[in-house]
């Protein structure tokens, strides 16, 4: 009889495993429903909105540490292109954060039910829904980048979704505990085990169906939407499809395996603080010119395109790029020189800086002295002959020579003329004030499969890569094999004074294991920094090397 009583006691007190399963299944179903409503009806997607909000309120050092850690892990594990992989990781983290929070909330709810034997599962579950839903509603109301509906409708939907989640969770966990409690003197423990198992199986099947259906249908809806947008907009012809590069006849040819000299749009890196890019309606968009001006302006894209356009081949790099990383790309940018715009903006004499704000709350300041001294600073609305893509700053971004992307806002909405300097978005968060691009050189390839015979009948292995020093140019690149002398590489004529240089060195082949190292010199002969340092806070430095058996 004592064994029977002990068995019944175990059933009467279900463990945390059952609570974890119930909370996990119902929280996963919530995510599936939120995803479905986002993709199909344009409702806020709480995980992404919450993650974006957190990146803006957490200490800048912590955010910078997270970025650096993510970039290092991707590089060490060779998980793919850093930009795309990092963005996927951010989105996965956003979903995981809400899922884990939901599971933790469910477990706490279970412990409360088990300790109090509460009969008010629905009421307590609704209270948990309010605890989770109210902050999520406020975030969606004031800072949603995912919603395509009005703030009011989005907020109501978010709160309602969490209330339903809490109510279902409360009832399910109360039922879980109720199943484990004997209903009479002669209750059978084995029957109660079967009832609990049957309950979990039914709950699991239902929540799995909701989760999978929400994800699949939501993704199909998004794919159809993108297809419709592409058909409506037509296929735009890129500049590079019908034009040769300006250095097409350069004598030095890249070694096989060197990255493309002109980065395809699909491969250009994207690093920003958003899980998904801001969505800007070009027809409603206006560039607001405010502050110390004679009269505030609101310019349309057509207004900007009336000015004589600039076309500049530009290499842009992220300050988070490690030595040898792929957070760098070269494209032909089209826009209008800010220097040309200033007279029509009629700035007051006290103005000294322009404060540029983006749709995602990013901001940066540019001095008027810098603009007056450099006509290459431009507001950019196209690249490779087509409008900017949403992910890369549509409809407007700024280009500033010689500095990293952290100083160059995208999705620009307003420019305010001010009489003072202040630190920009990332400077406030601990990154370098100037953020000037360091001179850097990278080995892209040791083309052992493309050997050739030199004039002295020796077998030569082409080695190649890039060198870059912002707007300061590259005068020399040298390659070292093992501990041997530094040998001068050939330089290909660059696309412009603002782009990287392709270099090549044909190495006399020797079998065995070798280490290849590269270094470069700026246009005025200044050598690159050889001391290794991490990207934070001023950009990575050090020499790039590759070791391999030949």
pLDDT of 467: 98
* DSSP string computed for 384-443: TTEEPPGGGTTT-EEE-TTB-GGGS-SSEEEEEEESS----HHHHTT--SS-BPPPEEEE
**60 vs 350, which has greater pLDDT?**
350
Say how many C-beta atoms besides its own lie within 10 A of residue 533's C-beta. 14
pLDDT of 11: 46
Task: Please name the helix (run of DSSP H) or strand (run of DSSP E) that holds residue 62, with its range, or none.
Answer: helix 60-77
CA dist 365 and 405 (Å) reads 13
Inter-residue contact 110 to 26 (CB < 8 Å): no
pLDDT at 290 over 70: yes
Task: Please name the helix (run of DSSP H) or strand (run of DSSP E) that holds residue 129, with its range, or none.
Answer: helix 121-143
* DSSP string computed for 185-216: TT--HHHHHHHHHHHHHHHHHHHHHHHHHHHH
Q: Peptide bond before 422: cis, by omega within 30 degrees of 0?
A: no
CA dist 456 and 469 (Å) reads 35
DSSP-H helix ranges across 234-331: 301-305
Confidence grade of residue 192 (pLDDT, cut at 50, 70, 90): low
pLDDT at 193 over 60: no
Residue with tokens 């560039």: 287
Task: Please name the helix (run of DSSP H) or strand (run of DSSP E) that holds residue 225, with its range, or none.
Answer: helix 189-233
Per-residue tokens: 522: 């700026």
Q: Is 519 helix (H, G, I), strand (E, B) or coil?
A: strand
Inter-residue contact 333 to 382 (CB < 8 Å): yes
pLDDT of 504: 97
CA dist 417 and 342 (Å) reads 11
Averaged pLDDT for residues 405-430 = 95
pLDDT of 450: 83
Could you give all domains of the chain from N- to C-terminal order, each with its CATH number?
A: 2-230 (no CATH), 268-428 (3.90.420.10), 440-549 (2.60.40.650)
Inter-residue contact 293 to 417 (CB < 8 Å): yes
pTM: 0.85
* Least confident stretch, 134-138, 200-204, 371-375: 200-204
pLDDT of 118: 66
Residue 44, Cα to own-chain centre: how many angstroms? Answer: 19
* Least confident stretch, 132-136, 437-441, 452-456: 452-456
Average pLDDT, rounded, for the chain: 88
CA dist 25 and 276 (Å) reads 26
pLDDT at 230 over 90: no
Q: What angle do CA 222, 80, 87 make, to 5 degrees?
A: 45
* Least confident stretch, 55-64, 239-248, 314-323: 55-64
Say how many C-beta atoms besides its own lie within 10 A of residue 322's C-beta. 21
Confidence grade of residue 8 (pLDDT, cut at 50, 70, 90): very low
Inter-residue contact 441 to 463 (CB < 8 Å): no
Phi, psi of 308 (to 5 degrees): -60, 125
CA dist 133 and 22 (Å) reads 19
């Amino acid at each position: 009889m004592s064994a029977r009583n002990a068995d019944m006691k175990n059933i009467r007190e279900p463990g945390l495993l059952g609570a974890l399963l119930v909370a996990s299944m119902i929280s996963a179903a919530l995510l599936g429903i939120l995803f479905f409503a986002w993709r199909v009806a344009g409702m806020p997607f709480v995980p992404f909105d919450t993650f974006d909000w957190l990146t803006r309120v957490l200490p800048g050092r912590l955010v910078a540490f997270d970025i650096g850690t993510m970039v290092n892990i991707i590089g060490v594990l060779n998980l793919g292109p850093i930009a795309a992989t990092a963005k996927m990781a951010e989105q996965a983290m956003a979903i995981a954060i809400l899922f884990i929070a939901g599971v933790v909330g469910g477990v706490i709810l279970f412990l409360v039910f088990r300790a109090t034997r509460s009969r008010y599962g629905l009421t307590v579950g609704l209270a948990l829904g309010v605890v989770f839903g109210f902050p999520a509603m406020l975030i969606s109301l004031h800072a949603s980048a995912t919603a395509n509906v009005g703030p009011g409708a989005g907020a109501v939907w978010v709160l309602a979704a969490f209330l339903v989640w809490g109510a279902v969770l409360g009832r399910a966990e109360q039922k879980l505990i109720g199943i484990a409690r004997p209903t009479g003197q002669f209750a059978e423990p084995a029957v109660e085990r079967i009832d609990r198992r049957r309950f979990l199986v039914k709950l699991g099947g239902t929540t799995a169906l909701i989760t999978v259906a929400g994800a699949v249908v939501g993704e199909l809806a998004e794919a159809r939407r993108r297809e419709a947008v592409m058909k409506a907009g037509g296929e735009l012809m890129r500049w590079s499809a019908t034009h040769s590069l300006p250095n097409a006849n350069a004598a030095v040819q890249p070694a096989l395996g060197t990255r493309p000299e002109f980065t395809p749009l699909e491969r250009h890196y994207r690093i920003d603080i958003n899980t998904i890019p801001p969505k800007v309606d070009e027809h409603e968009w206006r560039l607001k010119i405010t502050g110390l001006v004679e009269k505030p302006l609101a310019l349309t894209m057509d207004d900007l395109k009336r000015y004589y356009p600039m076309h500049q081949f530009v290499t842009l790099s992220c300050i988070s790029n490690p030595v040898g990383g792929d957070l760098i790309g070269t494209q032909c940018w089209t826009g209008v020189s800010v220097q040309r715009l200033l007279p029509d903006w009629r700035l007051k004499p006290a103005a000294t800086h322009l404060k540029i704000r983006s749709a995602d709350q990013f901001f940066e300041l540019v001095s008027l002295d810098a603009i007056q001294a450099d006509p290459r600073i431009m507001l950019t609305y196209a690249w490779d002959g087509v409008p900017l893509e949403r992910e890369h700053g549509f409809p407007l971004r700024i280009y500033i020579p010689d500095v990293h992307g952290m100083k160059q806002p995208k999705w620009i909405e307003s420019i305010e003329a001010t009489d003072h300097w202040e630190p920009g978005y990332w400077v406030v968060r601990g990154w370098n004030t100037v953020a000037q691009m360091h001179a850097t050189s990278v080995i892209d390839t040791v083309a052992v499969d493309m050997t050739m015979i030199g004039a002295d009948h020796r077998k030569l292995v082409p080695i190649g890569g890039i060198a870059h020093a912002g707007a300061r140019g590259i005068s020399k690149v040298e390659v070292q094999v093992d501990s041997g002398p530094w040998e001068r590489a050939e330089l290909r004529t660059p696309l412009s004074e603002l782009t990287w240089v392709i270099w090549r060195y044909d190495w006399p082949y020797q079998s065995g294991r070798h280490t290849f190292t590269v270094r470069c010199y700026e246009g005025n002969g200044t050598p690159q920094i050889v001391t290794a340092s991490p990207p934070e806070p001023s950009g990575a430095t050090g020499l790039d090397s590759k070791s391999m058996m030949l």
